[in-house]
Structure formats: C-alpha cells, structure tokens
Amino acid sequence: MKLKHLPLSAAILFALNPLNAMAAEQTTQGNEQTSKDDIEVITVSGKYSVSQTLDTATGLGLTLRETPQSVTILTSDRMFDQNINTVTDAVNNAVGVVTEETDNVRNSFFSRGFSVDSYQLDGVPTSWSLGGDSGETVADVALYDRIEFVRGATGLLTSVGNPSVSINLVRKHAGSKKLKGYVNLATGSWDKKSITVDVANGLNESGSVRGRVVAKYLNADSYVDNYEDNKKIFYGVLETDITSSTLLRVGASYQNNDPRGATWGMIPTYLSDGSQADWDISTTTALDWNTWESTNTNYFASLNHIFDNGWQLIANYNKIKYEKSTKLLYINPYSLIDIETGAGLGAQRYNSYGESKQDSFDIQLKGEYELFSQTHEFVVGALYSDQSAFTYTRDPVDKDPELQWDSVPVDNFFEFGGIPEPEWTEAETQTQDMETEQKGYYAATRISVNDDLKFIAGGRIATWLRTGFDWSGNVDYGDENEFIPYAGALYDITEQHRVYASYTEIFKPQNRLTKNGDFIDPLVGESYELGLKSSFLDDRLHTTFAIFNIQQDNLAQIDTSFVPTAEQQTAYYGAQGTESKGFEFEIVGQPIDGLNISAGYSQFDAKDANGNEVNADISDKQFKLFTTYQFVNTLPELSIGGGVNWQNEYSSSGANPVIADQTDKLEQEAFALVNLMARYKFSDNLSAQFNAENLTDEKYKSNVGSFRAYRYGKPRNFTISLNYNF
C-alpha cells in the first residue's frame, strides 16, 4: 500500500519546495481573488462564453482552453434566454448529457453511457440523496450564476472516480458595490405563475461588504392529470473583504418543492393480450391526494486568502439538509391490464418522511513555482464529507397483515381515480438508516516544458464508505485509501489550435444487488480522452473536438430475467469488459455582432465483452443547438432565437409477459424538440420575452428503461415573461 501512494507523495514534496515559489502580481476578477499568471489571456465574445477559471476538473484554476477535458458551460444569460429553470432543464440542454425521467421528482443523468451520482456546489463535492428523492434534480437554478459540465472522469476532485460528467453549480456572488438587480414576472401554459427577484448592493460606503438576495415563487399545473407544482426559493449571500488579500463569503439557501398529485414510478406498458399500451400523454398513476414534499436547506462559508508570494489558500464548508415527506401510490407494472375491463393492476399506498444531512469541508492551497527557467502551477487539497440519512414509513390502517407490502386492487385503470387516501397508522417503521463517509487527499501540478507544451500530473487518495440499512437490507460497502491517478498534456500547434490528452483511473463502489441479494463488486476501469481546442474569428468563436475511450468492469445492468419478490424488486448483474468509445464536438461564441451560438454533437458506443449494448435505454447520439440574434443595426430592441435538441432511438428489452418465447422492445424512435424565443426591450430597463418549448408538440417517451413501464416527456408549452432590470 505504501508503494501505491508514492507518486502522490513525491509530487507534493517536489512541488512544495520553497525555493521554487515565486511572487505573482495579484488581481481581483469577478470577486474571485486569483493570480494573473494563473490565467491564460483570452477574449470572451458573446453571452454564452466565460473567462472565469475552472476548478471542476483539476483544482488548478485553469481556463476552458487549458483544461484537458471537454467542458460545457451554461451561463446565466443562456439560461435566461432559453427559460431554463431546473437542474434537469440544464442537463437537457448541455452537450453530451442526457436525462432519464423516473417521475415528477426523480431524474437520472447520464454521459458517455454512464450514470451521474454526484455534483458540486462551488466546487465542493456533494452527494445526491437516495435516488435523488429529495428533489435535487428538480431544484431551481435561479440562485446559480452558471453550471459547468466537465465530461469524463474527474476522480482527482470528485468522489472516487466516475467516467460520466461532473456537474458544478456555481452560486451567484455578491460582487456589486452599487444597487443592481432585476424583477421577473412570468406566466404560461398550464396556468403557470412565477415571480423572481434578484437584488445586490454594497452594504457600506467603501463597498468592502456586499450582499445579494434571490427569491422566487412558482405555482403551475401540468400536462399530467392531477399534478400541481409549487416551489419557494430563497438565497442570500454576504461577502466581505477582510483585507485586500482575504475574502470571506457566507450564505444560505432554501428550496421547498411541494407538488400535488405527484407520481411514484411510471405508467404500465402491457395489456392482457400482450400488446403495448399507447396512453394519452396526460395519463398518470397518481391521485390528487398524492404529495412529495422536499425541502433543501444549505448553509455555506468560504475563505479565500492570497499570500504575499502569490499562493492562494481556499477553505470551504457546506452544510446541507434534505427533508422529504410523501403520500404516494405505486402502480405495479408487472401485472397486466385487462384489455376489456381495465382491471388487473395492484397499487401500493405509501406514507413516509425522512431526512438526510451532509457536512462537507475542503481546503486547498495552490500557486506557482519556478523550475528550469519555467513557471509551473501546483495544487494540494483535502476534502471530507459525512452524510447521514433516515426514513420512516407508516402503513394504511386497512393493510393486509399477511402481506409485507401494502396492496389494493385497481378496478379500472382506463378510468383511474377511485382509490381514496387511507387512514394511516400511528406506528412508524424505520426503513432506512445510513451513514456515508467520504475522504480525499489530492495534489496536482502543471509543468511547463516551454510556452507551447504543458503536462498535468496528479492523484487522489480516496475513501468512500457506506454503512447501515435500507429497503434492500443491511448496507456495508465501500473502500479506503484507493489511489486514483490523473494525467494530462496540452500542446499549442498554433496560437489558435491546442491539442490535449488526459487519463484517469475509475473506481466506484456500487449499491446494486444481484439476484442472490449480494452487492455487485466496485466499478473499476480507465478513461482516456484526446482532443483539439481551437479559436476562430479573432477569438470570437471557440470549438472543441474530443474522442474518448472508457473501459470498465462490473458495470451494473438490470437483470431482466429476475422475477421480483417481496424482499427485492429489482436485480442487477455486473457487465464485464465494458467499453465506451465515441466523440464530441462543440462550438460556442459570437461569430458576428449580435449572434450568440451554442451547439454540439456527441455520440458513443458502449458494449460489454460479449458485444451486448449497455445502458441501451438512453440515447447514444445527440445534437443540441441554441442561438439568439439581436438586430443590432436595424432594430436593436429586438432579439430572436431558437434551437433544437435531437436524440436517436433508445430502448429496453425483455420477455413478453403473455406470448411465450417472444422477446419485445420498449422503444422510443429518434425525435427532435424545437424551441423558440423572442425578446423586445421597451427601454434600457424593461423587456418582454416569449419562449416556446417543443414547438412541434412531439410525443415521446422520456424513460423506457424499466421495460414494463415508461413515462412521457413534456409536450408543447409557452411562457411569457416581463423583466425589469435596475
């Protein structure tokens, strides 16, 4: 084990040599204190590009062009133009990332063929709650300045290495010394009503103390029967320049999501004659008494100090508390619906409340040093988080005591709606009690061979442990002190074209159970990426082209041959020799005055050692485009825009439940969702905006992964908003 950690130890000792440290001129940019020499000088054109440095991949504070991985950023302007409101909306419009909807609250994210199981807040790694059931994926983005997507494994900074994508939610900061902000009123399809307020100001005469407040309220019905969305969001942040070299930031956020008529699971696939049902898009398995309330409270603090020699110390603390309370109805899709009467299904009534708490700490030291007449960068850091979670359930008073799970018949699913809310018992059963501990120690250095050639080398010692119990039984898995290396190289062919390569290992404990009730072995593998980053038109347009290869063993896949039992609903097997290979292309910028564009294409091919597709229930080819144009010379008050999100077909397979020896596919054919926007400015302060989503009213399945059940995506809808800036 000691030999295993030698590369990291050597890197730390080598780069921390005090003789190598050099002083660097300091600057403050966008309220982030950084060293000028750390930042590559680039010109940012348009509203969909950024000049800020990123810590999401390496922690070294590199620009987009300096990061040896594919990166997509959704800026606040892009999210405003396209009316992006939730984390799921953002994922749906980011290059190379796809969403699989489970119900109104839970969503799964995938990239390069693999699932996403964590995210970051201002660069601090954070875990989803179990299945995202505390509302993280439907959280509102009103409090974020931008969302960063770094595709490929980022095991240097996040968890224990995941080859999909790292999502970093960057909060709005209190950077303004003067009063500024906006008020936005919106209405739209399904009786949507919302108001958003964002105000920032200096709090003393010098502006050394600054504050910002964001608040939002949303109420809307839905295209799904019985469903009503209710959200309340509040965010406040305070910044103070303790000295000219020290910035302190503290803040808190509150998000309450209280939907009515919330679904648990999806609509069933099969009728009694073995045919697949084609339901109306408004079909639901929920009733008006179903609720799924979730509340997210987050307290955070960060300290950023720059030493006289130019080195930077950053310390962060996050405290997150998720609360959830549900009254739900689950329709069992493994039963068949009588084609004549609509009978045959059973329903489980469910009442629960739960809570999860997570405390996260991280500290990071980074700076520059000189060696062999060249300037190099170095970062060293440590992260720790502890998450506890519990859930209690209550049974209906009339539950059959002979059954482990509640079950009542659905008389006629064609006319669904006759199951009243039951009386619930006072007695409670604890069904979840888990602790998750994560620790990480990492270091990386960027070595400049010359002005054109640079190498990045680093590693992380990671610990991830989960203990306790949940619905599947006792939980006790994870690993300690796993070493995950990271390496990258960048070479400037010309001033406009840079090639890069990166490599990292993959290690990820898994909580999926086999049909024998055992945990699948940890996911292990390697991830490679090779790319070209270019700029055109005097740096107005930026492109990235990347090819990647990911190799993994023990990838959890649904075992469709497993017959559900009272003790276990789903089983998985570990696919061996899985390989995902593909490429991505992205273009972002402002090629001409007034025209902002963001577009990208991605595809992958993921198969196991036997040639079987893995995760075939998500699309493996995507094209995403969004662009806006302001008539700067003829009618500058008017901006119009639009885009299209295209996906190829995806499916899941299994045995037909009626016709012996017949294998079926639950499939979604390729489809495109078209979006439009238009904005008119009545004055410098006042504007009105129109957004149309799924303009052609495409009917599509947003989840086919369960085979015996599926879900429809959102049909055509409109939003009209009035925005006042000050």
pLDDT tens sequence across 384-418: 999 999 999 999 999 998 888 899 999 999 999 88
- Which of 64, 109, 63 lies closest to 86 in space, CA to CA? 109
The amino acid at residue 574 is: G
Query: What average pLDDT does this structure show over 593-617?
Result: 93
Q: How much is the pLDDT for 45? A: 64
Percent of the chain at pLDDT exceeding 90:
70
What is the distance between the terminal CA atoms of the chain, rounded to a whole angstrom? 59
Cβ 573 vs Cβ 514: under 8 Å? yes
Gap between the Cα atoms of 268 and 385, Å rounded: 39
CB 300 within 8 A of CB 122: yes
Q: What is the pLDDT of residues 481-499, one digit of tens each?
A: 888 888 999 999 999 999 9
For residue 100, pLDDT over 70 is answered with yes
Residue 25: pLDDT band (50, 70, 90) is very low
Residue 36 backbone dihedrals phi, psi, to 5 degrees: -60, -40
Q: Residue 131 has what pLDDT?
A: 64
Q: Under a CB-based contact definition with an 8 Å cutoff, are residues 337 and 321 in contact?
A: no
pLDDT interval class at 285 (50, 70, 90): very high
Choose from 130-134, 557-561, 676-680 the range with maximum mean pLDDT: 676-680
Q: Give the separation between CA 717 and CA 147, rounded to whole angstroms.
A: 24
What does the longest C-alpha to C-alpha distance in the chain come to?
A: 84
pLDDT at 565: 65
Report, as an integer, the average pLDDT of 601-621: 92
Distance CA 331, CA 50 (A): 46
Q: Do residues 444 and 486 touch, judged by C-beta distance below 8 A?
A: yes
The span from the CA of 106 to the CA of 551, in Å, is: 28
Question: What pLDDT is recorded for position 1?
Answer: 36
> Cα 271 from chain centroid?
35
d(CA 21, CA 39): 17
Q: How far apart are CA 560 and CA 570, in angstroms?
A: 9
Answer for the pair 234, 218: CB distance below 8 angstroms, yes or no: no
The model's pLDDT over 222-271, given as tens digits with 9 standing for 90+, comes to 999 999 999 999 999 999 999 999 999 999 999 999 999 999 989 999 99
Helix (H) or strand (E) holding 13: helix 6-15
21: confidence class by pLDDT, cuts 50, 70, 90? very low
The average pLDDT across 671-684 equals 98
The closest alpha carbon to 487, from 461, 454, 511, 515, belongs to 454
Query: C-alpha dihedral over 317, 318, 319, 320, to 10 degrees?
Result: -170
- Over residues 364-388, the pLDDT tens digits come to 999 999 998 999 999 999 999 999 9
**Distances from the Cα of 291 to the Cαs of 137, 353, 690, in angstroms?**
17, 11, 31
Q: Please check whether residue 513 is in contact with residue 571, taking contact to mean a CB–CB distance below 8 angstroms.
A: yes
Helix runs in 68-139, H state only: 76-81, 87-92
What is the model's pLDDT at position 562? 76
pLDDT surpasses 80 at 36: no
Under 8 Å between Cβ of 609 and 580 = no
Given this model, what pLDDT does residue 3 score?
Answer: 37
Q: Does 525 have pLDDT greater than 90?
A: no
In whole angstroms, give the CA distance from residue 301 to residue 270. Answer: 52
Helix (H) or strand (E) holding 11: helix 6-15
Compute the 3-state secondary structure of the chain and give helix, strand, coil in percent, each to the nearest 5: 5, 55, 35
What number is the average pLDDT over the span 115-138?
Answer: 80
Instruction: Kindly tell me if the per-residue pLDDT of 81 is higher than 80.
Output: yes
Across 49-53, 95-99, 422-426, 615-619, least confident range: 49-53
- Name the H helices within 146-213: none
- Beta carbons within 8 Å of 401's beta carbon, 6+ residues apart: none
Report the pLDDT averaged over residues 59-88: 91
How many Å apart are CA 22 and CA 12, to the nearest integer?
17
- The residue type of 534 is S
What Cα–Cα distance (Å) separates residue 406 from each residue in 132, 466, 658, 720? Answer: 24, 29, 26, 44
3-state secondary structure (DSSP) of residue 89: helix
User: How far is the C-alpha of 348 from the C-alpha of 325, rounded, in Å?
Assistant: 17
Nearest to 523 by CA among 485, 482, 553, 551: 553
Mean predicted confidence (pLDDT) in 219-223: 97
User: Bridge-partner residues for 358, per DSSP?
Assistant: 320, 387
- The arithmetic mean of pLDDT across residues 451-464, rounded, is 91
What SS3 class is residue 250? Answer: strand
Task: List the structure tokens of 118.
Answer: 């964590």
Task: Please determine, for residue 34, whether its predicted confidence score (pLDDT) is greater than 50.
Answer: no
2: left (phi over 0), alpha (psi -120 to 50) or beta: alpha
147-182 per-position pLDDT tens digit: 999 998 776 666 556 678 889 999 999 999 999 999
Which amino acid is located at 640 in the chain? I
Dihedral angle over CA of 693, 694, 699, 702, nearest 10: -60
Each residue's pLDDT tens digit, 626-663 = 999 999 999 999 999 999 999 999 999 999 999 988 99
Q: For residues 230 and 490, what is the distance between their CA atoms, to the nearest angstrom?
A: 48
The yes-or-no verdict on residue 318 having pLDDT over 50 is yes
Q: How many residues does the chain have?
A: 726
Helix/strand/coil for 414: helix
